[in-house]
């Protein structure tokens, strides 16, 4: 029975050590393009299918395909791992079996694979003839990891090739996770940059689409944002949904389930806050809860002027943004409740809105 040599095992251990060093140095591409490439050169020139739903550290016996490098882009376009029902994923066979695939057998796909930049680190150092696909799950989202390498002109994966490749999967998976975290950090920086352009911010909480706390900045302690006694500083990477105030929970759930919900909502008269939705190109979202200064004007004077609102109508809008009811607005301005209703009707017409939430979103800073 063939086995992985001690030299190859030592190489894998060496890669593991390099992985730890490169994570600290923020340079994981160094592993991808040097050490892993050298080790993958030992594999023969084939394409192996994996079940995208399998654990990231499990190598399945896949069908081996000979892949011509000139057709590689079509294969990468097709194997996107966005749809687990794709029929090609059901073609599983023994590792010793081999099959050839012609270009016309590759099914075209209209969807796009958002993580295609992961391929580039493999493509730069070598002429590509074949690929390996790995299933990787990060934060509940399925990814496909493609290992590209120079290969022999023909052949299929032998048993030792399977064993050797299985040893590499954890490190390849680690590389993808690192690149994913880099992308998330860039998204965080983009969101923070946009937030800092707005005046009157005391602090904010950034949650991912699963309500996991990803970032926390400044002062956010407020009964209108989080429940009393919640120590969120120690909860990065954990779900904090249960520690949010009921009104914030309602707002977040509405935004997660309703595509038509406004991207920004400002509410509550005691401690005003913003609920912002940051939509990314791959369909994922971040929710940002922004705590505002109590003296901060929630309504943009410029947008009020653009909608040609009268001074009295502007007063009504500002009180609406603070969460006041019609009766409270009536008492604050010394006018009848019916008059407040008439003002709101006229304001809705001028702004093209139909309720308070839409109104505040349209006119907010």
- In this predicted structure, what is the pLDDT of residue 203? 74
What confidence score (pLDDT) does residue 253 get? 82
318/194: higher pLDDT: 318
Label residue 345 by pLDDT band (50, 70, 90).
Answer: very high
Contact 274, 290 (CB under 8 A): yes
Q: Which residue has the higher pLDDT, 280 or 101?
A: 280
SS (H, E, C) the chain: CCCCCHHHHHHHHHHHHHHHHHHHHCCCHHHHHCHHHHHHCCCCCCEECCCCCCCCCCCCCECEEECCHHHHHHHHHHCCCCCCCCHHHHCECCCCCEEECCHHHCCCCCCCCCCHHHHHHHHCCCCCCEEEEEEEEECCEEEEEEEEECCCCCCCCCHHHHHHHHHHHHHHHHHHHHHHHHHHHHHHHHHHHHHHCCCCEEEEEEEECCCEEEEEEECCCCCCCECCCCCHHHCCCCECHHHECHHHHHHHHHHHHCCCCCCEEEECCCCCEEEEEEECCCCCEEEEEEEECCCCCCECHHHHHHCCCCHHHHHHHHHHHCCCCHHHHHHHHCCCHHHHHHHHHHHHHHHCCCCHHHHHHHHEC
Average pLDDT, the chain: 60
Tell me what pLDDT residue 286 has.
Answer: 78
Q: What percent of the chain has pLDDT over 70?
A: 35
pLDDT, average across residues 19-47: 50
Decide which of 67 and 3 is more confident: 3
Instruction: Provide the pLDDT for residue 343.
Output: 92
Q: What does the pLDDT look like over 275-313, one tens digit per residue? A: 777 776 666 777 888 776 665 566 778 888 888 889 889
The residue-averaged pLDDT of 75-84 equals 40
Domain boundaries, the chain: 6-178, 198-296, 298-365
* C-alpha R_g of the chain: 28
pLDDT at 121: 38
Region of poorest pLDDT, from 23-37, 105-119, 137-151, 201-215:
105-119
Give pLDDT, residue 289: 81
In this predicted structure, the answer to whether residue 210 has a pLDDT above a threshold of 60 is: yes
Residue 195 has pLDDT above 60, yes or no: no
Q: How many CA atoms lie within 13 A of 225 on its CB side?
A: 24
Fold of 198-296: Beta-Lactamase (3.30.450)
Give the whole-angstrom CA distance, residue 151 versus residue 142: 28
**Which pLDDT band, with edges at 50, 70 and 90, does 62 fall under?**
very low
Give residue 240's pLDDT: 86
pLDDT at 138: 45
As a whole-number percent, the residues of the chain with pLDDT over 90 amount to 3
Whether residue 111 is predicted with pLDDT greater than 50 in this model: the reply is: no
Match domain 298-365 to its CATH number in 1.10.287.1080, 1.10.10.10, 2.60.40.10, 3.40.50.300. Answer: 1.10.10.10
pLDDT at 230 over 60: yes
Q: Is the pLDDT of residue 95 over 50?
A: no
The pLDDT tens digits for 36-45 are 555 555 544 3
113 phi, psi to nearest 5 deg: -100, 110
Other CB atoms within a 10 A radius of the CB of residue 229 amount to 6
Most confident of 108-122, 143-157, 182-196, 288-302: 288-302
- Split at pLDDT 50, 70, 90, the class of 171 is low
Q: How far apart are CA 269 and CA 272, in angstroms?
A: 6
Least confident of 193-197, 264-268, 357-361: 264-268
- Write out pLDDT tens, residues 303-328: 888 888 898 898 888 888 766 778 87
The C-alpha atoms of residue 79 and residue 345 are separated, in whole angstroms, by 54
More confident residue, 274 or 107: 274
pLDDT band at 267 (very low <50, low <70, confident <90, very high): low
Q: How far apart are CA 61 and CA 130, in angstroms?
A: 17
């Amino acid at each position: 029975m063939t086995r992985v040599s001690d030299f190859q095992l030592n190489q894998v251990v060496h890669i593991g050590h390099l992985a730890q060093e490169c994570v600290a140095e923020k340079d994981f591409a160094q592993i991808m393009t040097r050490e892993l490439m050298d080790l993958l050169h030992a594999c023969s020139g084939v394409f192996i299918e994996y079940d995208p739903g399998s654990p990231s550290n499990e190598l399945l016996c896949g069908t081996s395909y000979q892949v011509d490098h000139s057709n590689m882009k079509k294969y990468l376009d097709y194997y996107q791992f966005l749809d687990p029902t794709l029929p090609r994923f059901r073609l599983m066979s023994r590792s010793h079996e081999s099959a050839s695939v012609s270009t016309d057998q590759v099914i075209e796909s209209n969807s796009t694979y958002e993580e295609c930049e992961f391929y580039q680190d493999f493509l730069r150092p070598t002429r590509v003839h074949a690929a390996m696909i790995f299933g990787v799950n990060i934060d509940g989202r399925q990814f496909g990891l493609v290992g590209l390498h120079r290969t022999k002109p023909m052949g299929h994966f032998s048993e030792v090739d399977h064993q050797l490749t299985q040893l590499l999967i954890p490190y390849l998976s680690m590389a993808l996770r690192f690149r994913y975290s880099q992308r998330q950090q860039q998204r965080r920086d983009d969101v923070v940059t946009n937030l800092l352009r707005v005046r009157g911010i005391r602090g904010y909480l950034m949650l991912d689409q699963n309500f996991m706390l990803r970032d926390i900045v400044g002062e956010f302690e407020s009964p209108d944002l989080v429940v009393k006694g919640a120590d969120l500083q120690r909860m990065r990477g954990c779900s904090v949904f249960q520690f949010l105030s009921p009104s914030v929970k309602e707002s977040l759930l509405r935004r997660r389930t309703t595509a038509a919900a406004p991207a920004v909502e400002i509410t509550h008269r005691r401690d005003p806050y913003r609920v912002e939705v940051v939509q990314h190109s791959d369909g994922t979202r971040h929710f940002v809860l922004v705590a505002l200064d109590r003296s901060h004007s929630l309504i943009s004077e410029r947008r009020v002027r653009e909608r040609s609102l009268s001074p009295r109508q502007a007063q009504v809008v500002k009180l609406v943004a603070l969460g006041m009811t019609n009766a409270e607005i009536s008492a604050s301005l010394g006018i009848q409740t019916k008059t407040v209703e008439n003002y709101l009707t006229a304001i809705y017409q001028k702004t093209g809105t139909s309720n308070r939430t839409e109104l505040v979103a349209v006119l907010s800073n």
